[in-house]
Chain A
Amino acid sequence: MCPGAAERSYGLREMSPWMKDFLFTIRLVYRNPLAMAGIVIITCLVLVAVFAPLLAPYSPIDISLDERLSPPSASHLLGTDEMGRDILSRVIYGARISIRIAVTVVTIGGAVGSILGATAGYLRGRMGSIIMRVMDMILAFPALVLCMVLAAALGPSLNNALLAIAFVQIPKYARLVHGQALSLREKHYVLAARSMAASTPWIIWHHIFPGCLSSVLVLATMGMGEAILLAASLSFIGLGAQPPEPEWGAMVAMGRQYLMDHWWLATFPGLAILVVAVGFNILGDALRDILDPRLRR
């Protein structure tokens, strides 16, 4: 037997508590119809985004003026827009932008927020309270208002809108992780690690983060739905994606001008936003129930 094998098998049998918890969670998700429905919608979104060039019957940006504003028909299932572009193709390509929005916002907002929250909760003291007061300040703004101001200051573009939305989401994660870090730091295993002179970043990474993972996951899932709605709102106002990008909110904004006689322009992209947001929200809802310690086991 090679050295270390005994150790390894020991490690497997005595899985770390959060690993065990994680596997248990996956089993619960699998059994929850609502969670599965959410997963199905999100999987569809990802597949549509990945295979957009195969699925889309037309180019999302090529202009064909003699077909402009044609109603839904066999050749254009969802009709065409004011430039004669196929709306179905644009909605399909829009899935890529939605995923970009969801992933960027949650990664930046979640990472920065969790690090700030964990640091503030673990260190406490003056540093911690300064961080949390700044978070309170950001929370004093209604989300859309701060997003608008930031996006305007940075200049209208999708990337700037995403930065603005990510910034606004930071305090949510910070607050959540802060609360949990405060109780985790008193746990015996954290004390033990500290007594062995483990560095602060090491403890935060190995002991604080894993303990917050499940609730951050719930927030991130719901945050993705929210990010998509906010990004669409900003694009609708004119502060997000710029034409001819096939972003759903921007498409609704464009369709607004033709609403009276050409309802399909605004209706279908909006429907896409709705479906995707529903997907993230039901998954987030189900995850919250699954991960709620009061309802568990």
Chain B
Amino acid sequence: MNMVTFVSRRLVAMVPVLLGVTILTFLLSHVIPGDPARLLVGQKASDEVVKRMREELGLNDPLHIQYWNYLKQLLRGDLGTSIRNRRPVVQDLAERFPASFELTFVSLFICVIIAIPLGILTAVRRNHVVDHVTRVLALLGVSTPVFWWGLLLLLIFYFRLGWLPGPGRIDLAVPPPAGRTGLYILDSLLSRDWRALGSSLRHLVLPAFCLSYVYLAIMTRMIRSSMLDVLNLDYIRTARANGLPERAIIFRHALRNALVPTVTIVGLSFGELIGGAILTETIFAWPGLGSYMVDSVLFLDFPAIMGCTILVCLIYMTANLVVDIAYGFLDPRIRWG
């Protein structure tokens, strides 16, 4: 099986799951207490208006027809209109997406550059002080409520020490960088707007640290345990017996095989990163998808909730797809098997 078949098979496998997700979100929007038509026209509207709105929204059609229409709408890229601000949900999501992407990408990057060396180190120096310390940190990482951790960071570094700026993506006095991507760091680099760059970087430190902390802990332990599994294999002993330097054994021979299971775990726990991002964004008033979702949920703005959910699931599934592909690259047995 070559790479193209491998990837396309994975893509095809995504379709039924994605359909399932839409069925679930569709059904959920129908069990909400309250009439969507009533929500849309407001509490004071007359019954006649509500009736007309129900007709217009197709709420009187049989359920399967309604689902079919919903699906057609989705395929056109129309996620409906937000009840809260009467704007198309797609437009809201497009505005919010870059902020979330920037935050999660930077957090993931921090995780990877710290977790891989730390994981290797703790595997090679098993039961050394570093190993014990990371074990404790990892345990705390998976047990810490993200929202509480974010509040502590704000309390210490913003309120008490005043070292770092508080909520938001950029200082209010600094105009956001001009650019089309909506990623402040990239935009300010491209437009050489150093003031915006500095401000947005400083604003990113606390949320990114808050979010990466949990994930970092899981990742370090995963890399450690898969590294340990590999280091106990026969071919490593053979390499040692042949007198290869330890560094070559670890980096050239062990690491590549140890990365295969790690990559899977990174993908699987991507969901935790998304969950963490929702809470982090809420704490740091980060104008991304997570805080948008929380606002919509509290407002019972169901078109927005559904749109957000579908987008987040799509991102989650794409992340897992990327992981599968990376898996295929790292381990030829999977591609050819």
Contact = CB atoms under 8 A, between A and B. Distances in A.
A227 B166 CA distance: 30
B316 A142 contact: yes
Given A137-B17, A274-B148, A145 B275 contact: yes
Contacts of A239: 297-298
Contacts of B274: 142, 144-145
A151 B145 CA distance: 19
B144 to A, nearest CB: 6
Nearest to A147: B275
A140 B140 contact: no
B155 interface: yes
B31 interface: yes
A75 B139 CA distance: 34
B255 interface: no
Interface string A100-136: 0000000000000000000000000000000001101
Nearest to B276: A144
B297 A148 contact: yes
A142 B312 contact: yes
Contacts of B258: none
Interface in A263-297: 263, 266-267, 270, 273-274, 277-278, 281-282, 285
Contacts of A65: none
Interface in A140-169: 140-146, 148-155
A237 B297 contact: yes
B90 interface: no
A229 B140 CA distance: 13
Interface in B1-58: 16-18, 20-21, 24-25, 28-29, 31-33
Contacts of A266: 148, 151, 155
A43 to B, nearest CB: 18
B109 interface: no
B279 interface: yes
Contact of A229 (B29, B145, B154, B282): B145
Contacts of B275: 142-145, 233
Contacts of A270: 145, 148-149, 151-152
Interface string B229-264: 000000000000000000000000000000000000
B147 A148 contact: no
B143 interface: yes
B313 A140 contact: yes
A141 B145 contact: no
B145 A233 contact: yes
Contacts of A152: 32, 297-298, 300, 305
Nearest to A150: B28
B17 A145 contact: no
Interface in A227-243: 229, 232-233, 236-239
Contacts, number: 137
A252 B154 contact: no
A274 B144 contact: yes
Nearest to A229: B145
Interface in B259-303: 270-272, 274-275, 278-279, 282-283, 293-294, 297-298, 300
A249 interface: yes
A64 B42 CA distance: 39
Given A149-B309, A260-B159, A134 B20 contact: yes
The bracket for how many chain B residues form the interface is 35 or more
A141 B313 contact: yes
B272 to A, nearest CB: 8
A153 B33 CA distance: 7
Q: Which of B31, B147, B270 has the most CB of A within 10 A?
A: B147
A263 B155 contact: yes
Contacts of B279: 144, 233, 236-237
A252 B139 contact: no
Contacts of B298: 152, 237-239
B211 interface: no
A266 to B, nearest CB: 5
A233 B139 CA distance: 18
Nearest to B299: A152
A171 to B, nearest CB: 12
A281 B151 contact: no
Contacts of B149: 270
Given A140-B313, A143-B275, A149-B297, A259 B151 contact: yes
A229 B214 CA distance: 13
Interface string A246-268: 00010011011001100100110
Given A134-B20, A237-B282, A266-B151, A281 B293 contact: no
A252 B278 contact: no
Contacts of A285: 139
Contacts of B210: none
A260 B160 CA distance: 8
A137 B25 contact: no
A229 B298 CA distance: 20
A281 B139 contact: yes
Contacts of B185: none
Nearest to A275: B143
Interface of B: 16-18, 20-21, 24-25, 28-29, 31-33, 139-140, 142-149, 151-152, 154-155, 159, 270-272, 274-275, 278-279, 282-283, 293-294, 297-298, 300, 305, 309, 312-313, 316-317
8 contacts: A133-B16, A140-B18, A140-B317, A145-B313, A259-B151, A274-B140, A277-B145, A285-B139
Given A153-B32, A259-B159, A270-B149, 18 more contacts: A137-B20, A137-B21, A141-B24, A143-B271, A143-B275, A145-B293, A149-B25, A153-B28, A153-B29, A154-B31, A229-B145, A237-B279, A238-B298, A260-B155, A267-B155, A274-B140, A281-B143, A285-B139
